[in-house]
Structure 1
Amino acid sequence: MNDNPARFAFVPADLRPRIVIAAILYLASLILLAWAGDVWADQQARNEARRAAQIAAASRASLLVSELQKYRLLPVVLAEQPEIVAALGGDAGARDRASRKLEDIAGELGSSVVYLLDARGRTIAASNWRLPSSFVGQDYSFRPYFTRAMRAGSAEFFGLGTVSREPGLFLSRRVAGGQGVIVVKFVFGAVERGWGPAPGTVIVTGADGVVLLTNRPGWRFGTTHALPTAQIAEMRRTRQYGGAPLAPLPISAAGDALVDIGAQQSAAADTPVPVPGWRLTVFEPLAPVRAAYLATARLILIGAAVLLLLPLGWWLRASSRAALAASLRRVLEDEVAARTAELEAAQTRFRDAREALAHANRLGSIGQITAAVAHEINQPVATIRTLAENGTAFLARGDAATAGQNLEAIAGLTQRIGTITAELRSYARRGTGTLRPVPIDQAIDGTLLLVGHLIRSAGVMLERVSVPAVAVLADPIRFEQILVNLLHNALEALAGQPRPRIGLLVDVEADTVRILIADTGSGIAEAARGDLFAPFATTKEAGLGLGLGIARDIAREFGGELDVGDAPPGWTTAFLLTLRRA
């Protein structure tokens, strides 16, 4: 710094090293804070992305499971239908009637295809029998879903359709003691479209590591690892994935539950799906979350820089004033001594002394000006400090006007989602089939956590009689399924009714517990009561007619019963669920 003395002309020489050291410490502190902020932002982003991936995985899996459950019982029910069994007898008319039956069922299901194979694996009836792409006459004896069903009674096989070229899950069941196989093909278009708008990538992989379902079309039939040549050859033989290249996807582990997808780092979370060998995985990109936390860290750094300047500025001001005063004193003393010693000097010395005094005066003025400037900037600095502290909270969502107001609300909503997710995960899990004591109040509370918002949004009054502290023998997940089904039916019956009400009444006896679900809807026609629990019997225009039958079967598995009950006074419809007391 000696090459430019004018730069520090107003600062005494003995103060300059301390200013340099203070500046170095200040910059070092900012660098350390910036590094710590980056580390904090990265860790927070990882944690947030992992939490988001776990929540998204549970949500996406529940959507997939709910769709699967609708179709899994269909082959079991169809295998007992008289039209299906009759079609295997060889009569052409019976086969046409079976095709019409399957056509009606497929129409209710949407885009799925249902067809019947004889004992040789040839299609004899199909829901698409009228279309040019009809399966009737096609030979599927080579397909695993046929061979496994004939051998084991039932099978599930994911693959590409040999005629439609559309991927789907084939659910098959042996019919009439081995005379044929009924097949339901479930396509996942609606499920994948439901995943599409969400951020991140969703994949479902089979046991062999092949991507079966995804919201990223270019990844379908890619693999999470390289497959052996023999395995690929077997897939080609069964035409499971058609001519797909089955090439590994650009996914590599990055540690700490992170993966690299190409050049993008993401948090990954997976969960099993109730199909043997299947897993659902969600990849949440880390970059957007990290950018938000980095912005917060940068604003904190700005606030810290301003706060550190305050004591540094005060110290510089005090040190400069003291040093300048001492320097001025020395100059004045030197000039007085020079004038005393050289009283009789020439005019030149007088002019030199006068100029020295003028210089000292300028130094004193500069000190005052510096103090005034320092005083003037105190107010703006204080304002900057306040804005920086507030901005730290406001910048979390990039909206300086409302972000601070939203933080508390976001914290409360997070706690509420956590509670519902926990209940949805529990509800989405497949029941164990093991009966154990289940408290009545616990089951009803869990059910209302799932459907309570539907009841409230429909304006329905729920009248719940105080539930005794009693337990029943049941599987808790399937017990809640019965209650959810009955409450949904009650809500549909109350549509358009004035002052709609639902009642939950519990009656405890020595060995049984009776739960009555009543409503004030339009009631059930007498003609419909006899077939109310039969498969495909429904009073709803868009209903499939399986819900009440499934609920009754579950109740009977528990050793109980579900039936239409006598509605108490003031109610129009009631269903009575009777279970064994624990």
Structure 2
Amino acid sequence: MVLGGNPHRRAWALFALAGVLLCLGAMLFAVGEARERALAAARAQVATDARLKVAVLRAEIEKHRSLPVVLAEDPDVAAALTLAGDAAVVAAMNGKLEALSRDTRVGVIYVMDRQGLTVAASNWREPTSFVGQRYDFRPYFKAALASGAAEHFALGTMSNKPGLYLARRLRDGLGVVVIKVEFDALEEEWAGDRDPVMVTDDKGVVLLTDRADWRFHTLAPLDAATIEATRASLQFGAAPLAPLPVTERADDLLRVGGARFVTAAVPVPTTGWTLMLLRGLQPVTRQAEVSAALFALFGSLVVIGPAGVYLRRRQRAQERQHQDIARRRELEAEVEDRTRDLVAANTRLSGEIAERQQLQDELAQANRLAILGQIAASVAHEINQPVAAIRSYADNAAAFIDRGDAATARANLGLIAGLTEKIGVITGQLRNFARRAGRAAGPVDLSAVVDGALLLLGPRLRRQGAEIARDIPADLPAAHGNAVRLEQVLVNLLQNALDAVPGVPRIAIAARATADAVEVSVADNGPGLSPEVRARLFTPFVTTKPSGLGLGLVISGDIVKDLGGSLEAGEAPAGGALFTVRLRRA
């Protein structure tokens, strides 16, 4: 045997074999553990990133959903359909839709009659104009005409660009108004990230993605009937609807083509879609595996090194002592360098995690601030004073009890009970105002509705020093309506009155009953409304406020009209604006 004649050589060979086995075992174990930890961290991070992208996608959709609702109530749209043969009316409608499309950044807005013929469109100047085209074969047209509203994702037959079609039937059934939301900017933003993103519908068809070669492919093969029906509707044009080259799929791990990904699938609320974020598995685990392997290797070397030094000392004694010390120092320096690299890498990763957590906190805080808004601050200030008084009465009651003065202590407790009832009234009114109101209508006490609106706006009225003159008869009969929705109307009218007066607001609230109706009016001492503004006041996007949207009075008018009443604007005796809500008697 080759090693038999030299004991020192055999000892070194056995030592080397043991060291190699130790290093390999430590590296395999460390790499396996590091891979699992990295994969677990990646799963959590991918799920968080996917939820953030869903929030952005949903916000992009939700901000456009109200536009077709408002346009369906626009009298200009109804006029364009009624006078479709009048070139001037249609041209004005085309210009209005073009400006609105540009301002709201939607793909296209168009209006169709009952037969699906496009009468006016925002792209009327372009070669791909929809004007004169028929879209009665589109599912969103049929669904909107039948049920009032519809949403449908499809490929444009003229523009050959995909988008989400939001359709709304006009109230009198004259036709359908449609907006097309395109997601080019969002897909470009996704393309800037390293991780592929795709949004699929309920059949698994890829609708949105930053990978153009994935669009209109499917996660799984579709049956022949589904493919035939989809192609017949021209929803995705001539797309083959072929499955993606998915060669491996296990839980949240996916192989597409030659790349493996860890994925997170999150539903997109209100759409029936699912967003899937894919993160490359190799970059996720490579750094952790390399770091763990190096750490295990140098850890093993730290164990093997002293043993090697000891064996070498036995063989070479003092003449090799300086070399052994130098080598050990070299190994220690290498370990320190690698350790510093690992610490630096860990610090960078910790910083990235902290930045993502901060981003999540900022998004959550922004969401909370948007929900709370102005009224929360006012109500908190309103409640703060009774709370401070409760604390003072409670301290005094304790002192009176210590003195044996039970009667005074009981009186303080009664004051505390009254203050808690006041807080309960304020918070209860805020809760009633904030909850979603149903459409059920019945007898309503307008005096109580006025009380609720004044309670909600109490802090602002006091802050502006507003003078409220109230003239509501005690025997005023009940009106036919909905208390929560009518309270919303009165709050809107009172806020408009407060906004309109530059000095001290003087607002008169009066109510009276006629033979078949009950009326409540709100008058202010502001500059009033010009005849031009009053003629178009209830038209969407018409406002006298520099930062107003022109939708508050439109919404209020629709609420009153839905309750079978009317909202009218006039001139107050003092020269300001006068708004009158007229409702049927209950």
- Give TM class, smaller chain: 0.5 to 0.7
Cα offset for 1:412? 3.8
Give, in angstroms, the shift of residue 120 of structure 1: 1.3
Contact 1:52 1:284 in 2 (8 A): no
The Cα shift of 1:73 comes to 0.6
Aligned residue number for residue 416 of structure 1: 358
**Counterparts of 1:81 and 1:265 in 2: how far apart (Å)?**
52
1:176-191 equivalent positions in 2, closer than 5 A: 176-191=171-186
1:65 aligns with 2:58: yes
- Whole-Å separation in 2 of the counterparts to 1:157 and 1:387: 59
SS for the counterpart of 1:176 is coil
Q: Which residue of 1 aligns with 2:265?
A: 270
Cα distance per residue 1:412-455 (max 9 Å; x no partner): 4354344345567xx4xxxxxxxxxxxxxxx559869xxxxxxx
Amino acid at match of 2:72: A
Residue 27 (structure 2) pairs with residue 23 (structure 1): no
- Does the residue aligned with 1:181 lie in a helix, a strand or coil? strand
Please point out which of 21, 26, 34 is paired with 2:27: 34
The offset of 1:56, in angstroms, is 2.3
Q: Distance in 1 between matches of 2:114 and 2:454?
A: 52
1:245 paired residue among 237, 240, 245: 240
TM-score, length basis structure 2: 0.64
Q: CA deviation at 1:234?
A: 1.4
Give the Å deviation of 1:238. 1.4
2:549 is equivalent to residue 545 of structure 1: yes
> Within 2, Cα distance between the matches of 1:297 and 1:39?
9
Instruction: Report matched runs for 1:250-329 at 5 Å.
Output: 250-317=245-312, 320=314
Residues of 1 paired with 2:325 and 2:359: CA distance? 52
Give runs of aligned pairs for residues 391-402 of structure 1, distance below 5 A. Answer: 391-396=341-346
Name the residue aligned to 2:2: 2
Instruction: Say if 2:74 and 2:540, in contact at 8 Å, map to a contact too.
Output: no
Q: Indicate if the aligned counterparts of 1:45 and 1:286 stay in contact, CA closer than 8 A.
A: no
- Partners of 1:302 and 1:388 within 8 A in 2: no
Amino acid in structure 2 at the alignment position of 1:210: V
Does the CA-based 8 Å contact 1:221-1:241 persist in structure 2?
yes
Task: Give distance in 1, aligned partners of 2:214 and 2:328.
Answer: 60
Aligned to 2:485: none
On the 8 A contact 2:31/2:290 being kept in 1, the answer is no
- Residue deviations 1:94-126, cap 9 Å, x none? 333332322221221235211111111111222
Offset from partner CA, 1:165-188 (integer Å, 9 cap, x none): 221111111113322111111111
The answer to whether the 8 A contact 2:200-2:206 is kept is yes
What is the SS of the residue equivalent to 1:177? coil
Secondary structure of the residue aligned to 2:172 is helix
Name the CA shift for 1:306/1:528 in 2 (closer, same or farther; >3 Å).
farther
For residues 37 and 554 of structure 2, what CA distance do their matches in structure 1 show? 46
Distance 1:274 1:408 in 2: 32
The answer to whether 1:171 aligns with 2:166 is yes
Deviations along 1:75-98, one digit per CA (max 9) or x if unpaired, are 110111111112222453333333
Q: Secondary structure at the residue paired with 2:319? A: helix
Corresponding position of 1:536:
541
Contact 2:539 2:554 in 1 (8 A): no
Contact 1:55 1:421 in 2 (8 A): no
> Looking at CA atoms only, which structure, 1 or 2, has the larger radius of gyration?
1
Q: Give, in whole Å, the separation in 2 of the partners of 1:477 and 1:111.
A: 31
Q: What pairs with 1:383-532 in structure 2 (closer than 5 Å)?
A: 383-396=333-346, 404=347, 406=348, 409-410=351-352, 412-420=354-362, 427=367, 443-444=368-369, 468=384, 471=427, 472-473=430-431, 512=456
Q: Does the residue aligned with 2:339 lie in a helix, a strand or coil?
A: helix
C-alpha deviation, 1:68, in angstroms: 1.1
1:17-56 Cα offsets, whole Å, 9 max, x none, are 5544433322111011110122123213322332332232
Aligned residues of 2:68 and 2:177 also touching (Cα < 8 A): yes
Comparing both chains, which one has the higher relative contact order based on Cα–Cα distances under 8 Å and sequence gaps of 6 or more? 1
Aligned length: 433
Give the aligned CA root-mean-square deviation in angstroms.
Answer: 4.0
Give the counterpart letter for 2:549 in structure 1: G
1:214 maps to 2:209: yes
**In the aligned structure 1, how far is the partner of 2:27 from the partner of 2:133?**
68
Counterpart in the other structure of 2:327:
377
Distance 1:215 1:87, change over 3 A: same
Indicate the residue corresponding to 2:195 in structure 1.
200
Helix, strand or coil at the partner of 1:260: strand
The separation in 2 between residues aligned to 1:97 and 1:266, in whole angstroms, is 52
Gap change, CA 1:547 and 1:273, over 3 Å in 2? farther
Within 1, Cα distance between the matches of 2:382 and 2:334? 59
Task: Name the CA shift for 1:537/1:273 in 2 (closer, same or farther; >3 Å).
Answer: farther
Decide whether the 8 Å contact of 2:153 with 2:235 is kept in 1. yes
What is the alpha-carbon distance in structure 2 between the residues aligned to residue 176 and residue 446 of structure 1?
31
Mean alpha-carbon deviation: is it higher for 74-83 or for 187-196? Answer: 187-196
Q: Please give the secondary structure, in 1, of the residue aligned with 2:82.
A: coil
Identity of aligned residues (%): 30
3-state SS of the aligned residue for 1:72?
helix
1:473 alignment partner AA: R
| Structure 2 Cα separation of the partners of residues 285 and 242 of structure 1 | 31
Which residue does the alignment assign to 2:448?
none
Tell me if 1:75 matches 2:68: yes
- Provide the C-alpha distance between the structure 2 equivalents of 1:555 and 1:89, rounded to a whole number of angstroms: 25
Query: What is aligned with 2:513?
Result: none
Cα distance between partner residues in 1 of 2:27 and 2:206: 42
Gaps of 5+ in 1: 322-365, 397-403, 428-442, 449-463, 479-507, 557-582
Deviation, 1:302, is 3.5
- From 135, 138, 143, give the equivalent of 1:143: 138
> What TM-score results when the alignment is normalised by the length of structure 1?
0.65
Give the equivalent residue in structure 2 for 1:232: 227
Which consecutive unaligned segments of at least 5 residues does structure 2 have? Answer: 374-379, 388-422, 437-451, 465-498, 503-525, 561-586
Whether 2:138 is the aligned partner of 1:133: answer no
Distance in 2, matches of 1:475 and 1:35, equals: 63
In structure 2, the residue matched to 1:99 is 94
SS at match of 1:69: helix
